[in-house]
Amino acid sequence: MQLRYMIAQIVPDLIRQEQINIGILLQSERWVGCKFIQKIPKDCEIPEDVTQDVVHNINSVWQERLQRESETLYIPRIREQREVSHLDRTFLDWLHDSYDKQLRFSDVREAEVEIDDAFGFDTFLQRLYNTFVAARPRLHKPTARSRLHSKLKNRSS
């Protein structure tokens, strides 16, 4: 089965353009689903106002949005407003083109995966989430030079 997915990202600092992955949107011919983080880790150093604006209840908002089969969208490419199914590739293209400030969607990626039922679809969605979004192990910060000097001095005494 051909699956299409996009990675939802926030850009906390529009000048530096660093992106943080916050969710996955997955689409097939039969199903559409999403999974977003519930809370941004503190070590990401994102301003509190961005966290509140972008992440607060984002998962439930998107789950509710995707419960509907379609929605009316303005498609700039064809300069027309029309009803677009959430199972249609046009919906993903519209998402990619329409969010441009702090919430963005990556380019559409495709995967050829054998999925027979909704459970398999949800399992693959979780797998994508774990791969691209789930918290990474924290890297050990190097010891500050002043503390390192103190440690070495104490050992030699």
Domain boundaries, the chain: 2-156
Residue 81 tokens read as 């407003």
pLDDT tens digit sequence for 19-28: 888 899 999 9
Q: Is the pLDDT of residue 85 over 90?
A: yes
Residue 67 tokens read as 């419960």
**Which has the minimum average pLDDT: 64-73, 78-87, 135-144?**
135-144
pLDDT tens digit sequence for 105-135: 889 999 999 988 999 999 999 999 999 988 6
Residues 52 and 111: their CA atoms lie apart, in Å, by: 33
Q: Flag whether the pTM goes above 0.85.
A: no
- Going from the C-alpha of 147 to that of each of 97, 142, 150, 152, the distances in angstroms are 49, 10, 5, 9
Residue 93 tokens read as 């293209």
- Going from the C-alpha of 115 to that of each of 1, 28, 78, 120, 121, the distances in angstroms are 6, 10, 33, 5, 6
Mean pLDDT of 131-149: 64
Residue 97 tokens read as 């083109």
Residues 141 and 148: their CA atoms lie apart, in Å, by: 13
With a pLDDT cut of 90, the percent of the chain lying above it is 34
Q: In this structure, are residues 102 and 50 in contact, taking their beta carbons and an 8 Å threshold?
A: yes
Residues 122 and 115: their CA atoms lie apart, in Å, by: 10
Q: Is the pLDDT of residue 136 over 70?
A: no
DSSP states of 42-101: GGG---HHHIIIIITTHHHHHHHHHHSSEEEEEETTTTEEEEEETTSHHHHHHHHHH--S
pLDDT tens digit sequence for 32-52: 999 988 766 665 556 565 555
**Would you state the pLDDT for residue 96?**
83
**Would you state the pLDDT for residue 72?**
92
